[in-house]
Every structure is written in C-alpha cells, then in structure tokens.
Amino acid sequence: MKNQHERLENSQLSAENEKLRAENMRYKEALSSASCPNCGGPAALGEMSFDEHHLRIENARLHEEIDRISAIAAKYVGKPMVSFPVLSSPLAAARASPLDIGVGAAAAAYGATDIFGGVAGGAAGELLRGAAQSDADKPMIVELAVAAMEELVRMAQLDEPLWNAPGVDGSSETLNEEEYSRMFSGGLGPKQYGLKSEASRGSSVVIMTRANLVEILMDVNQYATMFSSIVSRAATLEVLSTGVAGNYNGALQVMSVEFQVPSPLVPTRESYFVRYCKQNADGTWAVVDVSLDSLRPGSVLKCRRRPSGCLIQEMPNGYSKVTWVEHVEVDDRSVHNIYKQLVNSGLAFGARRWVGTLDRQCERLASVMASNIPTSDIGVITSSEGRKSMLKLAERMVMSFCGGVTASAAHQWTTLSGSGAEDVRVMTRKSVDDPGRPPGIVLNAATSFWLPVPPKRVFDFLRDESSRSEWDILSNGGIVQEMAHIANGRDHGNCVSLLRVNSTNSNQSNMLILQESCTDSSGSYVIYAPVDVVAMNVVLNGGDPDYVALLPSGFAILPDGPARGNMQGSGGVGSGGSLLTVAFQILVDSVPTAKLSLGSVATVNSLIACTVERIKAAVSGESNPQ
C-alpha cells in the first residue's frame, strides 16, 4: 500500500512538473517575441540598456514624423483645412505657470483678435490669398521647407566667411553673397533679375520661454499682434501639419503676410511662403519661412523670401536666446529717396528691427503679469485688472495706428498739396457697427519728413507732457498733466500714460488722452487718442476696454540710416537725423453714408501742416539733449 501510494504521488508530481515546464517554455517564447508598446522594439528583460531603449523610442517618434510628412506629400487628398494648431487655445496656455507668461492668456488679456475682423477669409484676406495648392505641389513644398530649415540653422550659427564682420563705423555684419552661393546652391536657385538682395542677422536674450515664443510664431493672430508695427496683414492659408508629440515640432503651414514700415512713402512687401517649425537634435527650436511664389504663375514678383526666421535656445529663469535671420530679394525702386538709406541698411525690414521689436514686446507682456508693483509712486496703477484692461486698450490703439499709416495695397491714398516728401496723403474709412470706433466717416491723414535731429531727442520731446502744448493744436494751450501710467519696459520711455488736458477756458471741459510711447533699437513711437472720462473709469476698474471708441493719432520716429559716429544730422539725410511720420485720424462726419466734404479735407491738411511746422521749430530750436 505504501509503495502504491508513493508511485501515485510520484506520477502526480511528474505530471505537474511537465505542466510547469511547458508553461515556462510558453513564457520564454512570449518574452522572446514581445515588443515595446512605445517604440516597437524587443522587450526581452536584461537585454536592452536604458539608453538603447530611449534611442528606440526617439527613433520611433522620428519614423512617425517621417511617415506623417510623407503621407502629406504623397497622399494628400481630401484632407480638411485646419484653421489653427491645437495648442493655440487660451485654455491650454492658462494652465501654465505665471512665471512662464502664458501666451494664450496674455493674448486674451491683450485682445489679440484676427486683424481681418475675426474672419481670416474676409475681404482683406482675399487680397493676400494666393493660388490654392494642388496635390502635386505638396511634395515640393515639403522638400523646400526641409532644405530651408537646414539653410537657416547654418546661417544662424556660422560666422566668417559667410558673414562679414561689422565695420568700425558701426555698420552691421553683411552677407558674403559669393560664399552664400557656393554653400547653398539649391533651394530657390539664383537671384531673380531686377531684384536686390537684403540679408541681415541679429540676436537677443528675451524674457519669454521657448514654448511661448514658438506658439506666437505659429499662431497667426498672436504673430500679427506681437509684431503689429512690422506686420500689417497676415493670414494662414492652409495648415499642412500641426506637428507631432503634442507640440509644434514638424508643424507646416502656408501663409501670406504683408510687411510694413510706418510711412506712406515706403511700399509694403507682400510675401507668400511656407512656415516650418522643428526641434533640432541639440535641443534648439527653429522657425523658418521660404517663398512659394514659383507656385503662382503669372504673378509679378516684387519680394521673394529666401530662408528667413529664427533659432531659439532655451535659457534659465524663463529666458530665451533668439538669433534672427532675414534674407529677401526685393524690388525697392518705389521707395522714396529720404527712406532709401534706411531701407538699404537693413534697418527698415531687417533682423535688427525684428529682434528689437520682439525684445520690447516680451517686456510688455511681462509687465502684464508683474505683481511687485511699487505703491509709493504717484500715478502708478497697482490694480492687476486695471493694468490689463488699460494695456489691452493701448494695444488696440497701437495696432489701429500702425495699420492706418502705411502704403498698404489695401489703402487708397490721395495726395494733397505739398512738395516732395512732405506731401500730405489722406484716405477715408467708413466706420459702421464697430464698437471700437465712433460711427461715421473717419479721415486718415499722414505725412513723412526729415529732421536734422537725432531720433532720441525727437522721441523725448514728443512724449514729454510738459512740452505737449508746443505742438499739440488740439490741446488749445492747456496744461497737460499725467494722471496715471504703467511702465512696460526697461527703458523709461516705454510706458502707457493717461493724460489730462486742463483747459485754460473755464467754458471747456477737461480732456483725457491715452498715450503709449515705446522705443527700441530700430525706432520709436508716440501714439495717443482722446478718450471718454466715463469709459476710462470703467477700464481702470478692470472693465472691458473693447467698447471704448478710439481714433488714434501719433508719430513714428525712425533713424535716417545706420548710426555713424556722433553726427547730429547736419549733412542731410543719412547724417544722424530722424525720419518722422505724423498721422491723424479724425471723425469728419458722424453719418456713415455722408460724403466727405472738401472743407473737411482742407481742415485736416491745415492741421497736419501746422503740427509739422510747430515740431520743426520746437525741436530744431532746442538745446542739446541731456
């Protein structure tokens, strides 16, 4: 009985052993053929290092990006058009840390709206819209964008012999055209006949994170708001890719943009290009533009954008280093003589202006989020909501001024009496159902002229409320007093102010003026608009500023050419003087359907001519600046 029991137990153990051996074999087979769900590679335990696993995941991500772009290039059929990338929603940016200066939230605070009145396909958008891309064009667009990205990164990182060093006279570095042609023989090909090449490079450290900078450049609304002094109109015509891995890496979109200089004497430059964003292997990010004008047969080519854009390097404490490259071929024969040197030097459309504007606007955005506001200073607005509302109103005022002073293709200017550069140019606009403008016919008048005075001296004179009565005819000689101000930059000239004009006539009520003055290395602005007292009280208490009616006027002050030593403008244009643009917006009739009278035009012409003469007399007669 005992022997039989042991044999039975042994038989059971042998069967269980066979079962375990078979199960172990199944597990080994499963492990040998297992794959990682992230990268698709083998997942055998102990056979792969952490670095190898990380590289396999990165390799899988790159394969996904290649497959996505290849699918766009080769099989793009019937895909719906995407208006904006996914990450451009204010809700996504609102989750960011306050130190990161969430761009979506800042755009909401500033009222960053579509410059076409909320509809990218409106009448102004149609003027910019080029020929629709056919499916056959998609592979060429992708190939061109990839080559442009490689060229931009090399142009941003290389120095001599590609870039000639700056001269001792203070001039900026210049591109060696021969070396450029040797290094980059592909791409757009040789320079077009009749076009002149302009190339420049500049860099700066700005107070904004890399992620927010990329979002601004890839969202057309934030892009147009951030660079409102340079971009007069912009539209995203088609989004080919929104990127991979939840960010803009690999994003590809076709755009049409009009670039401007604040003067009716300098024609705008329209450009039709593809914009491509990519994260590089060294951790930097790059955003590149390259023209697609070859896809528009029969169009007259006046501006061709060779690979241009910026390289962004993340730095500690929410800062980023931005290296900007501008490289265009352009027909500049229509530029007025007094602006020739400015345009030829690259200061009008070049990298230095882009970097200077970006640096100033990043400081402005940072001031929105500032919490350590000194309460001891008189007139400083300490309320967070009041600051945001007032800055949002000032932003809209600046955009309205910049959009109405240039020689844009959408504007119809009429030249009035004058001689040469000092012709007064006027145009009319009808304002209907626009809560941000008074209803009726608005007359916009502008003129540009040269002053033999350095730009800083002109800027300090025009922004100073104590000297306002010397040139402002509408103040009627009243005493101007600053009621409140918001500093929005390192330079004390960058601020938004609320001014009160105390009339000398007891029968006239006091007037409030909203003014923003801003300056950077490329130019300066002093822009102002009369505002209603009741409406401004609402704004200062954090109310909605979108319904405050504004008709901005002001000044754009640019250097007359590159700085050369200590010249004070005594030798004509290009000797250290200033190019000043004066512009007024005036409501001439509160009935939108009424016709513009000759008397109204004559009044505005006389007003702007008198203002110009007063400024010339006051600035030229001043003593040397401190």
What's the pLDDT score for residue 273?
92
What's the pLDDT score for residue 505?
63
Contacting residues for 411 by C-beta, under 8 A, at least 6 apart: 404, 427
Which of the 8 DSSP states describes residue 407? Answer: B
Strand ranges (E), 54-155: none
Check whether the bond before 90 is cis (ω within 30° of 0): no
What's the pLDDT score for residue 222?
92
Out of 67-81, 152-166, 183-197, least confident range: 67-81
Rounded mean pLDDT, 99-108: 34
Tens digit of each residue's pLDDT (9 = 90 or more) over 498-518: 988 887 665 556 678 999 999
- Prediction pTM value: 0.76
Q: Which of 515, 522, 501, 425 is nearest to 462 (CA)?
A: 515
Q: What percent of the chain has pLDDT over 90?
A: 25
138 neighbors 249 (Cβ within 8 angstroms): no
Tens digit of each residue's pLDDT (9 = 90 or more) over 121-147: 333 333 334 444 566 678 888 888 988
**Mean per-residue pLDDT of the chain:** 77
Rounded mean pLDDT, 139-164: 89
What's the pLDDT score for residue 626?
32
What's the pLDDT score for residue 385?
84
Tens digit of each residue's pLDDT (9 = 90 or more) over 170-180: 567 788 888 88
Per-residue confidence band for 362, with pLDDT thresholds at 50, 70 and 90: very high
Examine the pLDDT at 190 and tell me if it is beyond 80: no
Tens digit of each residue's pLDDT (9 = 90 or more) over 237-268: 988 888 876 688 889 999 999 999 999 889 89
> What's the CA gap between 115 and 41, in Å, rounded?
49
What's the pLDDT score for residue 74?
53
> What's the CA gap between 390 and 539, in Å, rounded?
6
> What's the CA gap between 462 and 333, in Å, rounded?
32
User: How many alpha carbons lie under 13 Å from residue 320 in its C-beta half-sphere?
Assistant: 26
Beta 320-330 vs 308-314: how paired, if at all?
A: antiparallel
Q: 245: which 2 tokens? A: 């891995």
Could you tell me which residue, 203 or 78, shows the higher pLDDT?
203
For the chain, state the CA radius of gyration: 30
Classify the C-alpha dihedral 397-209-61-158 as positive or negative: positive
Contacting residues for 561 by C-beta, under 8 A, at least 6 apart: 341, 342, 345, 347, 573, 574, 575
Most confident of 131-140, 190-199, 327-336, 410-419: 327-336
**Number of other residues whose CB lies within 10 A of the CB of residue 44:** 12
